[in-house]
Structure 1
Amino acid sequence: MATLLGYPLAGRKKHSTRFNALVLLMAAAAMIAASVIELIPAALAIDSGWADSALWLFVGFGVFVLIKLVSSLLQKHAAGLVGSTTVVTIALTLHNIPEGTAAVAAASTDLTTGIHTGIAIALQNIPEGLSIAALAFAAGSSRRWTFGLVAVSAIAEVLGAAGVWVNREVLSPEINSHMLLAVAAIMLAISFIELIPDGIRLLQLNGKTPKTPIIPTNK
């Protein structure tokens, strides 16, 4: 629902640079807080040791790097805004699948942790949906097609959550802890490598036109 909320927001009047920056930074803060305060401590409480925990944090970071690599390879073959829209949609859809597992896995460990994790993910899903919709509108896509692209990204998160929910009976506490650590690493990587740098860059613009477009275009 939060991802889909980005669609009507993109269709409204253009938001200020400062507003967009604050949205990104707020989303990053929520994800960092959920990872550090909720997910990682909950996982460490039931995990088998620091070495095992560090391994699954590394696995999560590896998933993030793989998604970025796939996005970069697709970007090389993207043509104009239509290609950029496709790349962004695919990238966000891919990373929404493991995100979808986070709230269910966290709630399986502790309901409060699950609620906090769900709220944090929802906050950062709004600018994700907005990014896809803004690019699609800029590329000249129809409202129906634009909504479809945003919906694909949202459905991916639902599928990730449903996959964990259906198999929850076979999930051991150890597997749950591994999932929490991997998703926490993905969320931290997104926050520190993408959301925070982009938010700071937007704040530094101070209403000026950036030399490099915020929305990726084909030069």
Structure 2
Amino acid sequence: MVDYFLGLDPILQATIATLFTWGMTALGAALVFTTRGFNQQFMDGMLGFAGGVMIAASFWSLLAPALERAEGGALPAWAPVAIGFLAGGGFLWLADKLLPHLHPGLTMESAEGLNPERKRRSTLLVLAITLHNIPEGLAVGVAFGAVAADLPSASLGGAIALAIGIGIQNFPEGLAVSMPLRREGMSRRKSFAYGQASGIVEPIAGVTGALAVIFMQPLLPYALAFAAGAMIFVVAEEVIPGSQENGNTDLASMSLMIGFTIMMILDVALG
């Protein structure tokens, strides 16, 4: 797989990788055609797994290359990384406050953002997962951009590992949108369409991130740290609390550990 990617333009690499992560979201949503429901323990375990993947990816694939790139600059190496990291979290915090959305499993009274009562439940569910997918797509894009910038700690294998890890954790997200809509009476086809739509933003964010770091390389440490900060905010704000709220705390915690370990192994082995 790494050999196949070697000869491709970095923008094309990021496009293919984020199309894969979107495809995994669609694959999860497609389970609405074959099953009538989902096991809550399974979903909580997968959420915990997703949190572990995102935490590990934030360090090995994003923050470590960001610190390396920032060395030798006008500012101390930690400064651009700290600025980018906090900016990424701040961006997601602001989006969380402004964008109307509803997390799967909650009632309409729990919808967040500006004027959520004016939106349909299906739209709010898609927007909730879309919020998660923005930093994920951005992370994949800037990871491939970092490889194009020839950072020693940023490898093509590591960028591919990041895409694989995010793709794996995208699988239950598509199902988490499509299945509740199906239970509320929406057709299987429409439920699938809404479920996979939540992943459309990943190729857009991925290509944007890759373009930014390739053509504006001084921004690279900021961009890498920004993507990491955005992902950590999502993990702390939504993923971990969501995995724990149904009482499956031990399962979710161990799944997080497993997700972290697998992402670490993928990054080190492929990197």
TM-score by length of 2: 0.66
Matched, 1:44 2:84: no
Give the equivalent residue in structure 1 for 2:47. Answer: 24
Give the equivalent residue in structure 1 for 2:157. Answer: 112
Q: 1:194 and 1:10, CA in 2 relative to 1: closer, same or farther beyond 3 A?
A: farther
State the aligned residue count.
Answer: 202
Q: 1:67 and 1:130, CA in 2 relative to 1: closer, same or farther beyond 3 A?
A: farther
- 8 A contact 1:67–1:91 mirrored in 2: no
- What letter is aligned with 1:179? A
How many Å separate the matches in 2 of 1:102 and 1:63? 14
Greater alpha carbon shift after TM alignment, 52-61 vs 140-149: 140-149
How many Å separate the matches in 1 of 2:90 and 2:245? 25
Give secondary structure in 2 for the equivalent of 1:154.
Answer: coil
Per-residue CA distance 1:96-152 (angstroms, 9 max, x = gap): 234222212112322122122212321231222112212321332223322322332
Per-residue CA distance 1:25-44 (angstroms, 9 max, x = gap): 11111111111222111111
Give secondary structure in 1 for the equivalent of 2:246.
Answer: helix
Unaligned ranges ≥5, structure 1: 207-219
Q: 1:163 and 1:140, CA in 2 relative to 1: closer, same or farther beyond 3 A?
A: same
Matched, 1:124 2:169: yes
Q: Percent identity?
A: 29
Q: How big is the shift at 1:6? A: 1.6
How many Å separate the matches in 2 of 1:30 and 1:166? 24
- 8 A contact 2:32–2:191 mirrored in 1: no
Q: How does 1:175-186 map to 2 (within 5 A)?
A: 175-186=219-230
Matched, 1:145 2:190: yes
Give the equivalent residue in structure 2 for 1:101. Answer: 138
Q: 1:92 and 1:19, CA in 2 relative to 1: closer, same or farther beyond 3 A?
A: closer
How many Å separate the matches in 2 of 1:202 and 1:53? 35
Give the equivalent residue in structure 1 for 2:82. Answer: 54
Matched, 1:77 2:117: yes
Indicate which of 113, 128, 131 corresponds to 1:91.
Answer: 128
TM-score by length of 1: 0.80
Unaligned ranges ≥5, structure 2: 1-22, 101-111, 147-154, 251-271
- What letter is aligned with 1:124? Q
Greater alpha carbon shift after TM alignment, 186-195 vs 55-64: 186-195
- What letter is aligned with 1:3? T
- 8 A contact 1:84–1:135 mirrored in 2: no
How many Å separate the matches in 1 of 2:93 and 2:43? 25
Q: 1:186 and 1:165, CA in 2 relative to 1: closer, same or farther beyond 3 A?
A: closer
Give the equivalent residue in structure 1 for 2:26. Answer: 4
Q: How big is the shift at 1:170? A: 1.1
Per-residue CA distance 1:153-182 (angstroms, 9 max, x = gap): 22211122233445664131x322222111
Matched, 1:200 2:244: yes
Give secondary structure in 1 for the equivalent of 2:186.
Answer: coil
- What letter is aligned with 1:15? F
- 8 A contact 1:43–1:176 mirrored in 2: yes
Give secondary structure in 2 for the equivalent of 1:148.
Answer: helix
How many Å separate the matches in 1 of 2:126 and 2:230? 18
- 8 A contact 1:18–1:203 mirrored in 2: no
How many Å separate the matches in 2 of 1:146 and 1:171? 40
Greater alpha carbon shift after TM alignment, 156-165 vs 31-40: 156-165
